[in-house]
Structure 1
Amino acid sequence: MASQATLDSSIQPMFPEELSLTERDLNKAIDITVFPNLELNFSCSLGIRLGLSEAEITAIDRDKDSDQDKVVALFLKWRERKGSDATYFSLMKALIECNNKEAAERLCRYYQDKHQTSSAQKFKQLSHLQKPSHSYGHSNSDLVDIGTQDTRKCAWKIVDRYCDQIVSILRKDAILCNSMLELLVDKFLIESAEQDVVQQLPNLDIKIKAMMRYVSTFISRARNPNRAFLRFASVIQNFEEFNQIFDKMRIEAFDVKICIPLQSIKATKLSSMVIAKKASSIYSGNFKIYLDYGFIDKYDDAYGNDVISQVSIKQYSDHLKICYKKKKPDPKSCFKMSICTQSKFYVDLASVRKQGCSDSFSLSTIHGTADDIYHHKEPLSLEELCRIEYGEAVLIEGAPGIGKSMLAFEICSRWVKGEALKKYPLLLLLRLRDRVIQNCKSVRELLGCFLTEQNWKDATVQHIFNKSGKGLIVILEGFDELPEDLTQPGSVFLNISEELPFASLIYTSRPSAKHYLRQEITFSHHIEVIGFTSKSISQYIQIFFQDNPEYIKTFNQYLDESPKVRDCLYTPVNLFIICNICQQYIMNKEQVPFKGIVTSTKLYEAMIKMLLYRHIKSEGPRKLINVALHDLPSLYKEDFSCLCKMAYDGLRKRDTELLFYTSKDIETLGMMQKEVQVYPAMGGDVIAYSFLHLTMQEFLAAYHISQMPRDKIENTFNSLRNVIKFSTVLCFLSGLTELQSISPRVDHKLYSMTLFRCLYESGNEALTKSLFSNKDKFYKVRRLLPIPSPQDMFILGKCIALSSCQWRLSFTLRGMTFEYVEEFQKGLNSVESGLLCTIEDISFSLNPIGDEGIIELLQFPEHVLKNLISLRLMSCKFHSCAATEFSKQLKKFTNLRKLFFHNNLLKEGEQLCLIEAMIPLKCFCFTFSNLSPDECAVLLTKVSSIGKVELYQLGSSSIEKVIECLPNSLSLKALHIEQSHCTPENLSLLPTTLPSSTLTKVELVNCAIDSSSVRTVIDAVLMSRHLEALNLRDNYIDDEGGAHLCSMLKQLFGSSEEPATDSNSSHSFNFLDIGHNPFTGHGISSFIDELAHFKSDSTNFILSLSLGWKDLVCEHVSFTKVEQLIKFESNEDD
């Protein structure tokens, strides 16, 4: 049989004799890592032999020179499509048929290395490949460990390996450094407050090290390090200077099963239209003709009349306009559309930019939901939104019910009327929740979904393809409502830009939806539908009540009784429902059921009752009706139960069902909308129902659960408590049941607001006290998701105030302003009885709470301030007045031991009052930045309790003052200086003052110490008998300085051949960190050689190295002798 023989006679002679492979050998499924490893070149003939489509071949050939990732992505697509038939043999045969012997030979060698050699030889043999592979250098046990360990840790380790190489490149180009910093902030790998710190650093070397340290720390401590790593990979690929580093990182990522989404990463920041214009091409037989944007028109003019008539486009345009005129607004937005029809009044829009969310307008759009977008925003008009250029992609996001569907329909309506998008002959509005749209398998089907048997259908669609989509705009409305399998890479809804590069696309989606949209599409604009602002709400109320002053006054009085109701009016559907139904109550002179509403459960219960009230009123009695959900008239009870079950069943499905298809009528009781959908392919009408609002569906689902048996309610609650999409349902369930039949499970570490929201919604304070009654137990609240709103902070404060246990709270990097601190303070103070809880640690670091924030913090209950042990306030945008106010109240913090206060907006001399206020306290650890020499002197010589101090961004004279004061700081054990330029002159007193001090640990991190200045540090170490640890991480010590450090170790510890000198025989030194310094392999080997000659009684010493040197160190001949003396940097947040 062929499979048992050697290779085909036409194939075998093309390979060296040592590649003795059979067809059976090569008939194995091809490994995914082969494509990035081999960098296989692409040709049209190869694409044809692999069975790729014409569109795929056209797209890949256009970009193959500028974007190798697309080539890799296409091979991956071929592998996925062919499945088990995608073998080494089939690919090799296709390469040979294309006369690409070199690639085929590399493929065979790769196969031999991968499958026919031991793992010990594997990576050495990869050197046969044309592209040099990275060196691993691990022992066999290391390789197994890397393959089996959690990829969360691997992500940071890959980045750390290449940090020093990136630093070396950045040092040569300040402009490159600034550009990279901007992108890192865009990708949220560096926070805006950290960006401010980096930008104000005057020394480029220190600036680069600080930037890379922030990135490394973020990735290592990220909730999802893999995702953070992918962001970083996308940043460095924007710069050709990092191409080699990126290639190596990509290969290592494959080895630990981290797949970079290659097709989503662009080599430049050009828009998709510009990229397409530069590389557009058309195939004719075996000839390739390159065309720029203008030539496409000429091509159509010259040849188009023989194939396609422009008339067909005009016919399709007219046909679409007729369809849209007949088409009603989306059923979800019928209430909201009344706003437009009444007054041409629209929801507000905002342009989103990747900057911090700290200005008043941006913060006004935050409502404490999972769909909040924490970016900088600027108001945007609908007219500005409609100025979309050819080939651009626009992302429109917004919470459920906020008006995305209404906005899509309005854009479509303006196109129909000729009021907008006039240069686009064709506009397709695709509602992605519709089954007909979801069933389309190709872009061609999507383009023709509004047509049936017109004789010009095929010609029209082909014409669109010939034009590469020029003149076509597609609105893909509701991307988040697609089934999960249709949102994956390769989906037809993500391939439109690939097949039609000049088509303009508008996608709408929920921000919290989990899909690949933002990874697969390069968006030119990011827009948020923010609903209504307070000004818009007031205007709408005026319009709705037709300027009737009596109605408006009465309505506002009802809103004043319940701020909770007013807070929900930014959502158009809520605003209309409440205005519409309240109008009936007011006209009938009946009491509106708003009074006393303080929870979301009570709010939506009132809204449901109001809808039922309106429905019942419309069918009969005009007298006052008392609507109770548990005691509805029998005529409506069964219908209401059916609606609740339908809502629950829709949410339970893996792909949440928001649109319900049926062939029969449903009694909606005014809570659902009905739409008759007409599509040519369906052969008739399709009836679809949807709830007025997703949150309304969630309330009804919760009500359905609340009617289950008690044990089933509790099981349902606890099984869904960690499922984010059910968090709102559980809150409603808590409010409906008051948690009487539920005992929530409480974890030691709390990462979600869901539990606290449920407790608040329940109103069951006794249960809250019971859950947190153990005074000896610690609970940690950190990295809360969704990011809490001010109302959430009130809820959290209230729950903590009701407890008797101990708390550690970290609100680091949660986008908080002073309003959040204010609400937390109100929550803590909302419990009348004395507090029994203890808050040990609070962090508001990396939040712009500002001076007003510290004023609110100082109003926390005295019981809280008195028992606080650690307070972290780094990068909070404090000015001098904050330090002044803090110093006046510092005496309240009687048990404070740690205060972190660096990287705020304070100048030299503005923190003296705060330092002086610390003198009578017993605080042990401080961090400050930008201290003056006088402030340094007071801190080190007057604050007698100080044991550890971290100082950042010190000037030259302040560094000298710190070193001068060391002998007079009698309790100081650890000194940390960072982001401060330490020259030999600054450090000249260190050999004199360090031996006379009480310091056991000195850390000079990112201080631009080089091989010259390190000699002064070495002299000081050799003269100090009590110094135990020296940290020189993130400096610029090269091999010359390394030799001096080796000599220092030799003097301290001696060697097996030569004892230590008598003067240093009683030293305490046992730790040296030299991570992330520019040593060469020779320099690192010198350290290993020195450690290998240590005397046996010196084995308590540890040398800390950056992870990038692990490969070399593990291969060193003396590694087994020194393995116990070496520690590789580990920055993971345990």
Structure 2
Amino acid sequence: MVSPLSPDTGELVSPQPGETADDWSGGQSVEKILTKFSLFKRDLDKPTISDDAVFKSLELNFDYQLGIHLGLSKSDVKAIKNDHNSDQNRVVSLFWRWQEVKGSDATYLSLMKALIECENKEAAEKLCQYYQDKHQKSSTNEFKRQFSHPALPPNTDHVKYNHSVSSPEKMSFTNEFQKQSSHPTLPPYIDQPKYNHSVTSEKVMLEENTSNDAWKIFDRYHDQLVNILRKDAIFCDSILKILTDKFLIGIAERDAVQQLSNLDIKIKAIVRCVSIFISKARQPTRAFVKFSAIIEEFGNFRAIYEEMKIKASAVGIIIKTPAKLAKAKEPPSLTSKGASADFSDADDAGHDESLLTPSMKKYSRYLKSCYKKERPDRKWSLGNVPSKIYINLAVVCKNEDYRNPFSNSTIHGTNDDIFGYKEPLSLEELCRIEYGDAILIEGAPGIGKSMLAFEMCSRWVKGEALKKYPLLLLLRLRDRVIQNCKSVKDLLGCFLKEQSWKDAAVQDIIDNGGEGLIVILEGFDELPEHLTKRGSLFFQFSNELPCATLVFTSRPSAKHYLKNEIEFERHVEVIGFKKENIDEYIEKFCNNNSEHIATLNQHLDESPKVRDCLYIPVNLVIVCDIFQKYIMSEEQVPFKGIVTSTKLYEAMIKMLLYRHIKSQTQELVRVDLHNLPHPIKEKFTTLCQIAYNGLRNRATKLLYYADDDFETLGMMQKEVQVYPGTGDVTAYSFLHLTIQEFLAAYHISQMQKAEIEVIFNKLKNVMKFKTMLCFLSGLTGLQSITPHFDHNLYKLNLFHYLYESGNESLVKMLFGNKDEFYKVRRLIPSPSPQDMFILGKCIALSSCQWGLSFTLRGMTFEHIQKFQTGLFSVECDLSCTIKDISFSLNPIGDEGMMELLKFPEHVIKNLVSLQLMSCHLHSHAATEFSKELKKFSSLKTLFFHNNLFKEGEQLCLIEAMIPLQYHYVTLSKLSPDECEVLLTKVSSITEVYLYQLGSSSIEKVIECLPNSLSLEVLHIEQSHCTPENLSLLPTTLPSSTLTKLELVNCAIDSSSVRTVIDAVLMSPHLEALNLRDNFIDDEGSAHLCSMLKQLFGLSEEPATDYDSSYSFKKLKFLDIGHNPFTGHGISSFIDELAHFKSDSINFILSLSLGWKDQLCEHVSFTKAEQHLKFECNEDN
């Protein structure tokens, strides 16, 4: 029984003497208690969804039966009990799970009935008292409460919310507000989130909406979000941290926002960052849902979340929370300096025997006996491989700065998340996995993902890791039997034959929700394409087995399918061999023969392409085997000719062929695959046909079944599968998928040229076939193939194909028109340094014009260095023209600036636009840039704001602009002197965007307006503008040449806006005024309304008391969006606009979308509609 605690003694309270069973259960008890508190059923028949405090007010102890009476499943209640050690934590998680499962049916009334059914009358009465105190208020107070922090009962404990990876503790209750190392704890009086983000994953059940309805919904609630965040600075900082973790705000943007000292300006900046992210996202709907998942977890935002969810549903965006059991927990330490290689006591303590039924125990023993007989997938090894295996891992951290030595040392890593900060990770740490987690392990082809999966399985069998999991399923997804399974139930039993306990074991796993089960799905990228789509069986584990732990391994090419469907708690990258591993491997391979080691290293030094690829173990094995064959035959090692992956794998295939026929007398380098001896040629052709058939039509087939043995030429491995219902089946697979891709490419290369071109252009943008088409490009040289592509390039596949082909003439032909303009932008996946080298080389061979945008692509100085190397890699003079480059929002640092300044002179002198916003640049970068600025003779646009400069550190750069023809400049944190030089000395400048100005600098900017003779646009943002520092504006603005004035997010209030309007009314040139994202309330709104006719030139009355000699030019555009006007203030604008008589007046008043619904219902709306603009998407 669930009983309340006595407020005096803390002991359990039992039913009082004389009370009958009817007093504790049934409808009569409900009516009696309601009558006692003067309540009706309709009063309590309301959702508790936005009221977390009710749970704490009841002071309950955890009890299994309460969860059952609330309608939860047995597995849910059992999982909650197992997940938490604290009784209070269990109670809170129980109620949160109830709210999640029941949604709007989780009412106060149903809670009250459940308490009475559990014979807890006192708690039921407390619930009524709580409801009466909290909810029987006026509707006006209830509306206000939605925008404030709900008060918690006195003397209650509060949930401590922490995402730190440095603490293995579960969610706990505390009365103290403690700072966390990586995720700030929210203050005690703020409603806390229910669960960790990663287990409240939201799914979008809709194709992408091209009209960006998702952003429009967000914009409607923009101002309400600001109002909530303004109430507490600590809460604001915590939300900023969470948004950064969830990739709604980049690290560079976070740094810029955190520097803002004014809380109101900081809040506006945060919300605007989210707005821009959703607007500009490749998939805005998914970005919106990700944001919704964040705010849904905070009681402060719950009312807004529910409204947004309804709005989204109305336009077909369905936000659906999966049935996966949410757990309040924190991940184990991964990055702590003191992390031990040994498991903690909790990790080392084996599984809970209560989870196991007799049939599950049998299944566990059976699996271990099966795995003991297995060997590592032989595709890893090709022969004489040292016994020691290296498994180097990195965990991708989403919440840290990624300017660290380890991240920079793993440049070969394939992870394409924008925020690529990595921490080293041991295998022991990887194996510390919580129940219900989902882990993604990614890595390049041949880097050791399959070996890692086998090693995890082996350690489980030996009892060295994953001890708390009684069951482990290793599913190799390339296997036909696995792919043919029709249900999760089939997958759970795929290892069993006709055991009498098979059905019972599978059913027990399902009944337990998968608790205690870990499933390793190895090789997701090797599935046929139809099995990687939404609705695939392999995505159903988390729904049908919410407590099961999932580990996926995949190439990066298939990662986007996974991330679209699954929210991963941890993202791990297999980074392959480091230099010391390579050296050690070579020493062991050469049996410490110093002469052989020196000779091999000499050849590698002469072939950088070969050495660069050795971080992939399979490639290292290939190179060592090739070297060994040539040493033994005393032939010249052919590394000098290997400059592409195609050449490397061609040499490897030749080596395999000659290993098979055991011939070491022929010179391998002189053998042509096109002229193989009979019968090798026929067998090789057959293998290539098999490889091609396995990859064609996107239906990947990696295992081949045969009754009889057939010749594989040493390129395939044979295994016997014993899956149930099939008997003993002989299966063949290629030593590695990359070998199959090469052979498939070779098969295509033997087709007719027209057929090759059709296949190439059909598959060229499919990431799954990128490796195969790279090989095809290398084998054919792309002769007689004309790749089809458009002028906007979002992937680098084309450049890889061209580079592999070695066909420089084709590159020159494709990009030879000097009048053509190509844009490379928003690259997915994010480019590696080697990608940048290839791109640079291809551009250097071209004659056309380029626009390159690498904004927010996780670039470092090494990327720029490699790009520069590529530009210098051609012998002929450059004839290409790079018009604009953007490295904004990348941590290139001062080193990156130094590399950029080393670009070829031809590139620098033709550059028109350079964007270096938020690039972590310091004063040294500004100084060096200023010395070279004259070389940028064509530069007209420079984005340079939100870097790490202090006031005065950019003066040298601004002075260097004076003799040049700059038109458009963005800068931040300028001193008054810097502002004066910029506005009065750089005579060509027409547009200036200034950020984070101090009070004195704002005054200096306004003072200099009359002396800036060519300035047309002035934009000031994130700078606190007061009536005092704006006081000169009515004097200087009329004497300026400005046509547009933008004071965005400058904390302008109703007092300051009067000064601005007075100045505008005196300006003879101004046509546009932007006051967006400020704090102009109804008082300021009333003043603006009274001035609309004057502003838009519809009144003949003098506007101000200032000098009437100025000829005022009517305003054409006024933006007052995202200011805190109330409904009354907004209605005043509509009424005023409705009285405008002339249809010939051409002006626009831009308002927030949040006002649109109210204005559309206003009687005067139709008359004013032609002058209103609402849907001003941030992307425009």
Same fold (TM over 0.5): yes
The one-letter amino acid paired with 1:842 is I
Aligned to 1:1081: 1127
Contact 1:922-1:945 at 8 Å conserved across structures: yes
Contact 2:75-2:512 at 8 Å conserved across structures: no
Aligned to 1:904: 947
Aligned-pair CA distance for 1:704: 1.5
Q: 2:863 aligns with which of 801, 814, 820?
A: 820
Q: Distance in 2 between matches of 1:1020 and 1:268?
A: 57
Tell whether 2:362 aligns with 1:319.
Answer: no
Tell whether 2:1007 aligns with 1:964.
Answer: yes
Aligned to 1:1108: 1154
Q: Residue 378 of structure 1 aligns to a residue in which SS?
A: strand
Q: Distance in 2 between matches of 1:585 and 1:892?
A: 51
The one-letter amino acid paired with 2:606 is E
Aligned to 1:203: 262
Q: Give TM-score, length-normalised by structure 1.
A: 0.81
Contact 2:414-2:443 at 8 Å conserved across structures: no
Aligned-pair CA distance for 1:977: 0.5
Q: 1:231 aligns with which of 275, 285, 290?
A: 290
Mapping 1:692-1091, distance limit 5 Å: 692-1053=735-1096, 1066-1091=1112-1137
Q: Residue 424 of structure 2 aligns to a residue in which SS?
A: strand
Q: Distance in 1 between matches of 2:791 and 2:48?
A: 43
Tell whether 2:250 aligns with 1:212.
Answer: no
Q: 1:636 aligns with which of 656, 675, 680?
A: 680
**Which segment drifts farther, 658-667 or 936-945?**
658-667
Aligned-pair CA distance for 1:909: 0.7
Distance 1:1058 1:961, change over 3 A: closer
The one-letter amino acid paired with 2:1054 is S
Q: Distance in 1 between matches of 2:1027 and 2:325?
A: 45
Aligned to 2:58: none
Mapping 1:487-636, distance limit 5 Å: 493-497=538-542, 500=545, 502-513=547-558, 517-518=562-563, 521-617=566-662, 626-636=670-680
Aligned to 1:137: none
Q: Residue 695 of structure 1 aligns to a residue in which SS?
A: helix
**Which segment drifts farther, 979-988 or 462-471?**
462-471
Contact 1:237-1:267 at 8 Å conserved across structures: no
Tell whether 2:314 aligns with 1:255.
Answer: yes
Q: Residue 664 of structure 1 aligns to a residue in which SS?
A: coil
1:1032-1091 per-position Cα deviation (integer Å, ceiling 9, x unaligned): 011111111111111221333476898989888742322111111111222122112222
Q: Residue 719 of structure 2 aligns to a residue in which SS?
A: strand
Contact 2:992-2:1017 at 8 Å conserved across structures: yes
Distance 1:460 1:161, change over 3 A: same
The one-letter amino acid paired with 2:934 is K
Mapping 1:59-208, distance limit 5 Å: 66-67=96-97, 71=101, 150-208=209-267
Distance 1:233 1:878, change over 3 A: same
Distance 1:1127 1:566, change over 3 A: same
Q: Residue 875 of structure 1 aligns to a residue in which SS?
A: coil
Q: Distance in 2 between matches of 1:716 and 1:352?
A: 36
Distance 1:650 1:1123, change over 3 A: same
Contact 2:633-2:665 at 8 Å conserved across structures: no
Aligned to 2:170: none
Q: Distance in 1 between matches of 2:892 and 2:648?
A: 30
Aligned-pair CA distance for 1:455: 4.0
**Which segment drifts farther, 480-489 or 1117-1126?**
480-489
Identity across aligned pairs (percent)? 70
Q: Residue 429 of structure 1 aligns to a residue in which SS?
A: strand
Distance 1:678 1:1037, change over 3 A: same
Distance 1:877 1:589, change over 3 A: same
Q: Distance in 1 between matches of 2:971 and 2:404?
A: 26
Q: Residue 743 of structure 2 aligns to a residue in which SS?
A: helix
Distance 1:440 1:150, change over 3 A: closer
Q: 1:647 aligns with which of 672, 691, 705?
A: 691
Aligned-pair CA distance for 1:604: 2.0
The one-letter amino acid paired with 1:1123 is E
Aligned-pair CA distance for 1:419: 2.6
Aligned to 1:360: 405
**Which segment drifts farther, 964-973 or 913-922?**
964-973
Aligned-pair CA distance for 1:348: 0.4
Aligned-pair CA distance for 1:759: 2.0
Q: Residue 212 of structure 2 aligns to a residue in which SS?
A: helix
Tell whether 2:431 aligns with 1:401.
Answer: no
1:823-846 per-position Cα deviation (integer Å, ceiling 9, x unaligned): 222222333333322222111111
Q: Distance in 2 between matches of 1:265 and 1:424?
A: 19
Aligned-pair CA distance for 1:167: 1.1
The one-letter amino acid paired with 1:215 is V
The one-letter amino acid paired with 1:869 is V
Aligned-pair CA distance for 1:67: 4.9
Q: Distance in 1 between matches of 2:602 and 2:1094?
A: 83
Q: Distance in 1 between matches of 2:478 and 2:668?
A: 40
Aligned-pair CA distance for 1:884: 0.6
Contact 1:396-1:529 at 8 Å conserved across structures: yes
1:734-791 per-position Cα deviation (integer Å, ceiling 9, x unaligned): 2222222112224122222122222222222222222222222222221223322222
The one-letter amino acid paired with 1:474 is V
Contact 1:347-1:572 at 8 Å conserved across structures: no
Mapping 1:682-693, distance limit 5 Å: 682-693=725-736
Distance 1:65 1:729, change over 3 A: same
Aligned-pair CA distance for 1:483: 4.5
**Which segment drifts farther, 362-371 or 735-744?**
362-371
Q: Distance in 2 between matches of 1:298 and 1:830?
A: 61
Aligned-pair CA distance for 1:1003: 0.5
Contact 1:662-1:687 at 8 Å conserved across structures: yes
Q: Distance in 1 between matches of 2:500 and 2:292?
A: 49
How many residues in Structure 1 have an aligned counterpart in Structure 2?
A: 993
Q: Distance in 1 between matches of 2:921 and 2:530?
A: 48
The one-letter amino acid paired with 2:1058 is R
Aligned-pair CA distance for 1:887: 0.7
Q: Distance in 2 between matches of 1:1020 and 1:373?
A: 44
Structure 2 residue runs of 5 or longer lacking an equivalent are: 1-46, 50-63, 82-89, 106-142, 147-205, 333-349
The one-letter amino acid paired with 2:96 is S
Distance 1:1057 1:1012, change over 3 A: closer
Tell whether 2:521 aligns with 1:476.
Answer: yes
Contact 2:654-2:668 at 8 Å conserved across structures: no
Q: Distance in 2 between matches of 1:740 and 1:160?
A: 52
1:460-505 per-position Cα deviation (integer Å, ceiling 9, x unaligned): 4555566655544333323343445555666654454555555444
Aligned CA RMSD, in angstroms, stands at 3.8
Contact 1:237-1:265 at 8 Å conserved across structures: no
Aligned to 2:140: none
Mapping 1:421-436, distance limit 5 Å: 421-436=466-481
Q: Distance in 2 between matches of 1:744 and 1:313?
A: 56
Aligned-pair CA distance for 1:975: 0.8
Q: Distance in 2 between matches of 1:700 and 1:632?
A: 15
Distance 1:446 1:58, change over 3 A: farther
Q: Which has the higher helix share?
A: 1
1:791-825 per-position Cα deviation (integer Å, ceiling 9, x unaligned): 22222222222222222221211211122222222
Q: Distance in 1 between matches of 2:325 and 2:1150?
A: 37
Contact 1:73-1:262 at 8 Å conserved across structures: no
Structure 1 residue runs of 5 or longer lacking an equivalent are: 1-34, 38-43, 76-130, 135-146, 274-295
**Which segment drifts farther, 921-930 or 412-421?**
412-421
Q: Distance in 2 between matches of 1:815 and 1:503?
A: 33
Distance 1:754 1:889, change over 3 A: same
1:155-189 per-position Cα deviation (integer Å, ceiling 9, x unaligned): 22122121111111111122322222222222222
Aligned to 1:115: none
